[in-house]
Structure 1
Amino acid sequence: MDVSWIPGSADLVVVIVAVAAIAGGAVALLRRPGRGGGEAQAPTPAPRDGARPAPADEGTPAAPARPAPEDPSSRLARLRSRLSGGMGSALLAIFSRGSLSADDWEELEETLLAADVGAASTEALLDDLRARLKATPDAEPYALLREALLAVVDPGLDRSLDLAPADGVPATAVVVGVNGVGKTTTVGKLARVLVAEGRTVVLGAADTFRAAAADQLETWGARVGVPVVRSDRDGADPASVAFEAAQKGRDDGADVVLVDTAGRLQNKAGLMDELGKIVRVVSKVSPPREVLLVLDATTGQNGLTQARVFGEVAPLTGIVLTKLDGTARGGIVVAVQRELGVPVKFIGLGEGEDDLAPFDAAQFVDGILGR
């Protein structure tokens, strides 16, 4: 509005603006919480017992639910793609020549040995293949080798996990293996599998000789959403931590307790004492149903030696084969199954949450054969 024609109009405008500002401040004061305004809110109650008050609801959306694990068939497809190109390519080249000559048999032996099938297992496989070819001379040698491998890798062993709680007591699994094979990561990924199946899990960080192991397991626990029992100091008694984990599992009504252990092999007697004590004290709450040995697929026949040592220390119920990628020589599975009779129950394909798959003998054999 044009007020320039009014005498002293400039002073009048200043007065009007000042009055409006004062009125606006009064309205804002009346609308403060606790002042009787229509938008007043109750004050936030003081926290009790030292707890921090819950943050005010600012309309932040809830965190999305964790996605379901990758389907096992998809994981096994990744396994086949990673294994293909190694032993499989060499075998295809040999069998594509037609009938096997003496040189072909020698090359076949070298190929199996290079894939870490092992001397004894290689000899047994070739003898089996010769017998099959003699019985069915018109059969495809490649197909007969697949049958021979399956007979060794899948001799009817039970590959299921015996981890069902009973009478309110959680089922306990102790995971063993030398340092560096991916043991702690395997515990975390196995917890992921169990949680996805609807089971409640407690983790026990009984590898107290490496602070990084407990920290790593806590990271996995937070990622998967399960509690972790650990010691506050390095070098604590591993059996004590395992016992506390088993107790927490029972008190919380958990379904499964997974115990991660140290992996030192410098002294077999010391290893035997340590693992034996863990099993004894945990058994007071829940006798271990599973003792799973984690093996690194890249270690080859050295992994078989490790398996023998741990097999003397604890009654192994299954093997988890880790680091099974394009550079790994998965023939160690053949040697382990044939010489130890311990079923391979899981295979590790990487560091991701879903890089653990149940072992499938046919898929595995087809993978190492490049089919």
Structure 2
Amino acid sequence: MLVYFLIVVPVLLSAFFFFSYWQERKYRRKPFYRLSDVGWQRHAPPPEAELVHSAALLGDVGAIATDGTDPVMKLVQAWQQEAGAKGTMIFLGDNLYPIGLPEAGNRHRDLAEARLNTLIQSIKSYPGRGIFLGGNHDWLKGREGGYEQLLRQEAYVLEHLQQPNSYLPPQGCPGPSCLQLAEGLLLVVINTQWFVQRGTKPLGSKYGCPYADIEEFFVSLNKLLKRNSHQRILIAGHHPLYSNAMHGGKFTIKQHIFPLTALHKRFLIPLPLFGSIYPFYRKMFGAYEDMSHRKYKKMRKRLLRIFHRYNNLIYVGGHDHNLQHFEIQGNHYIVSGSGSKLAFVKKGGRATFALEELGFFVLNYYSNGQVWLECRTVSATPGQGQLAFRKLL
């Protein structure tokens, strides 16, 4: 019996880990398509349809290069030329890594300011508009003092961009804020970080928010969606509601064997079995930024309970550093979080599409009422991109 536990069990576990790792290696950085979407290349918007509006969904761009060489920003420039004045750039939070825009004198301030200036300039040089949302890193990684950090970034954007409605929802309030992008296409912005933030969270007239009880947020959101059920609605928040990646409880075999790589990618100290404790904890209980955390879980449940009443919704978030699409109960849920970083995404599950690659999603709204989703990724040729997925929503 002792020989069984000392030899046979470790051999079986090693074989399992090796096979799983080999399977992951086969599909990492390769697109996953649901079977019914495998032939997506054969479908395209009708040539006679006129583009009414285009929205670039740019998540987690907080680590972009500021010297003009950033591949994703070059991809954005190509999209800008196509969309012209009919476009909106939506930055889905985590606009600045690692801790948002700190006060002057902080060691992170100069780089954060340079990155934010790069994003602002990309909007200024473009005839369309740009909108920023706050993510957990913009809120000081969700810690105490995050509210002040968020207000500092919002004030900087408003001062330097000089465009109305360029940071939503305003004053760090929960929202919902809405903006008519085009006739028949409404943008609704939610501050999902508010629900999981520690420390000060603005609510009530003292902070410039329209209500003092968070229950009124859900009532207001439902009324807004019901009142606009005749048009297509794009809902933007930082946190995804469906995900096949880390914040959705999906981890690689490497993360089970080398758990210290969560602290630094070079900490390759093998801790098999013991190393599975950390992924298991994140999957079952979660950090504040995980779907399994009680606060995130409560927010997600309340939002989905409202969204499932309608069938004209497109919800987009970032947070997980990859590209994903889900179609659930007639609505569409998008993760567009690979603006500057990459992380593992598991294939299959409820996803219709998943890809671990730098890039972003684009929503194109046409004169015939159709909305097409496009996934644009960085290609091996500098300055050029490639279309990885397209779908009629």
Give the alignment's TM-score, normalised by structure 2.
Answer: 0.33
> Greater Rg, structure 1 or structure 2?
1
Question: Larger relative CO (CA 8 A, sep 6+): 1 or 2?
Answer: 1
